[in-house]
Amino acid sequence: MSAAPIPDASPLVRIGELSRRQGVSPDLLRAWERRYGLLAPERTPGGFRLYSAEDEARVRAMRRGLARGLSAAAAARVALREPAPPEGPVPARALSAAREEIGAALESFRDVEAQTALDRLLATFSLATVLRDVVLPYLRDVGDRWEAGELSVAQEHFASVIIRGRLLGLARAWDTGIGPRALLACPPDERHDLGLVCFGLALRQHGWRITHLGPDTPVDVLRDVAADLDPALVVVCAETEPPMRAAIGEVEQLARRFNVAIAGRGATAELALSARVRLLQDAPVAAAARIAEGG
């Protein structure tokens, strides 16, 4: 099935979305804007403030200054004088070191250290970079080492639970806004949704609204929710092939009414062709970017 045209998303965001992306409360963002002139929002005809990528870059620079021990006033002066540029290539060594630090903490059951390392990453790099270059490679590595017997069940579960909780915290209020809506779910008997959550977070960065039904979702439930919400895109994701193969007949029926894609390692070209749905073959962050661009 050919994908339906997908509307462009505005790069401007409301203060709640800026707050969610950067982990800074709306009240504090308003205080930085009022006291230091850190932000320069545009206004809608109705008077709502809309913030740009440059505003977000200054918030990120402000957070870096505060993390280095600067006062709020000094951090704001630095951020205004040298706002963080659009993120370019990131040193592979820094990202590799971050993955190792987070992995060592999680595999030793040190929750606080892992969360602190994630805090530093999110204050320094964009969410897309953290997902693409740290979180997703680490999760793949955890799965491979667990299958090889190099990690215990306890270590794999602990790492997955901590990362999932953190990602869902970032996903708070990701269904708000005016952008197109994506409805995400895993089919019955598929209990791993971390890749799908990463995809949803990445798509949210492009202005989409996200409704995530999570693991082990009956397709008839997915169909009923789709009928209520009328999403621009429905994504069914499985990390192993049997759950996707078992659900593909119902997915085909769902695709008769909605724009449907399948994703994950359990989604194959054969299954996509049989159900006449789109196959998202890219990694989650790249797939989200392609969809947002209308590709």
Altogether, the residues listed in the chain come to a count of 295
What is the mean pLDDT of each successive set of 10 residues along the chain, which is 295 residues long?
Answer: 39 83 85 91 84 87 76 85 54 85 96 91 83 93 92 95 93 83 97 95 89 96 97 96 97 96 95 95 90 78
Instruction: Round to whole Å and give the CA distance between 214 and 222.
Output: 10
Beta-strand pair 278-280/233-237: unpaired
- Residue 84: predicted pLDDT: 47
- Residue 189: predicted pLDDT: 96
**Sign of the CA dihedral running 284, 285, 288, 290:** negative
Q: Which of 107, 54, 61 is nearest to 82 (CA)?
A: 61
**In this structure, what token pair is assigned to residue 254?**
């769902």
Based on the number of CB atoms within 10 Å of its own CB, is 5 exposed (0-12), middle (13-18) or buried (19 or more)? exposed
**pTM for the complete prediction?**
0.72
**In this structure, what token pair is assigned to residue 45?**
């005809």
Instruction: Round to whole Å and give the CA distance between 50 and 182.
Output: 23
Instruction: Round to whole Å and give the CA distance between 245 and 248.
Output: 5
User: Could you tell me the domains of the chain?
Assistant: 15-81 (1.10.1660.10), 92-170 (1.10.1240.10), 181-292 (3.40.50.280)
Based on the number of CB atoms within 10 Å of its own CB, is 196 exposed (0-12), middle (13-18) or buried (19 or more)? buried
3-state SS string for the chain: CCCCCCCCCCCCECHHHHHHHHCCCHHHHHHHHHHHCCCCCEECCCCCEEECHHHHHHHHHHHHHHHCCCCHHHHHHHHHHCCCCCCCCCCHHHHHHHHHHHHHHHHCCCHHHHHHHHHHHHHHCCHHHHHHHHHHHHHHHHHHHHHCCCCCHHHHHHHHHHHHHHHHHHCCCCCCCCCCEEEEECCCCCCCCHHHHHHHHHHHCCCCEEEECCCCCCHHHHHHHHHHHCCCEEEEECCCHHHHHHHHHHHHHHHCCCCEEEECCCCCHHHHHHHCCEEECCCHHHHHHHHHCCC
- Residue 19: predicted pLDDT: 85
Q: With beta carbons less than 8 A apart as the criterion, state whether 233 and 180 touch.
A: yes
- Residue 8: predicted pLDDT: 38
- Residue 207: predicted pLDDT: 82
- Residue 111: predicted pLDDT: 93
pLDDT one-digit tens code per residue, 144-158? 999 899 999 999 999
